[in-house]
Amino acid sequence: MSTLFDLTGKTAVAIGGNGVLGSSIAKGLADQGAQVAIVGRNIEKAELVVKEIQANGGTAKAFYGDVSSRDSVEQLASEIEAWSGGWDILLNSSGKNSPTPFFDLEMDEWDDIMDVNLKGLVLTTQVFAKRMIEQERKGSIINISSVSSTTPLSKVFTYSASKAGVNNVTQFLAREFAPYGIRVNAIIPGFFPAEQNRKILSEERIASIMGHTPMDRFGDPEELQGAAVYLASDKASGFVTGTFLRVDGGFGSMTI
């Protein structure tokens, strides 16, 4: 069974790998033998993740990348290609949120969140998947969605809309890339308190979340590692594409 999830010899690109969820997933991939490019706009945070991976015996390198800029993404791809020769796994985990009510929403804020959550995912996938296809490299693309992508949550209108788009893009690309041996799936995390959502987690909202989460607790970022490693491994999930893997403590199963 250990060989089923072995990623030795693989290279993973973790977009947003300096964030709470992205960094945990990146560490999980590294623990299974993949060398990981940690990408983020905050290079200092990315370097800290690299140090943690290296301290645990893994291989990683930090890279600056702005997913809302094609020029930045193209430059990023060239730098990672020079470092690794190519990649087999692409993790799209960049994310941005805001609690702005619908009628108070300005289009600048809408554009900013969409640029990171949806446009950025499309841009990075265009650039990185194209190079995979050119090199005839099979592999796995893992997108990070949200429970708000299927049932919109209050107070996060733009975020919910962007993550619904992530689901649609995931299924579209699964069909488009299947002939090239590239699988595209998404993880739907439940509630994992991070920097981007702590500002909307009032006591009242926490009580509401727990009331709709059968496991009655928040998730631990490390609990996303198994799902990501499974989707990254061609041996474990070689016939899995266009699907959504929930890691939400049962949130998606709750009705009343």
In order of their start, the domains of the chain are 2-249 (3.40.50.720)
Cα-Cα-Cα-Cα torsion 117, 132, 41, 75, nearest 10 degrees, comes to: -130
Q: Where are the alpha helices (DSSP H) in 115-202?
A: 120-134, 157-177
d(CA 98, CA 125): 24
CA-based R_g, the chain, Å: 17
Amino acid (1-letter code) at residue 87 = W
pTM above threshold 0.85? yes
d(CA 130, CA 252): 34
- Which segments within 125-240 are labelled E, that is strand? 139-144, 182-189
- Which bin fits 247, alpha (ψ -120 to 50), beta or left (φ > 0)? beta
Residue 89 near residue 13 (C-beta atoms within 8 A): yes
- Which bin fits 94, alpha (ψ -120 to 50), beta or left (φ > 0)? beta
Residue 221: burial class (beta carbons within 10 Å; 0-12, 13-18, 19+): buried
- Residues acting as catalytic residues: 159
Altogether, the residues listed in the chain come to a count of: 256
- Three-class DSSP category at 46: helix
Please list the pLDDT of the chain residue by residue as tens digits (256 residues).
779 999 999 999 999 999 999 999 999 999 999 999 999 999 999 999 999 999 999 999 999 999 999 999 999 999 999 999 999 999 999 988 888 888 888 999 999 999 999 999 999 999 999 999 999 999 999 999 999 898 888 778 899 999 999 999 999 999 999 999 999 999 999 988 765 555 567 788 888 888 888 888 999 999 999 999 999 999 999 999 999 999 998 888 887 6
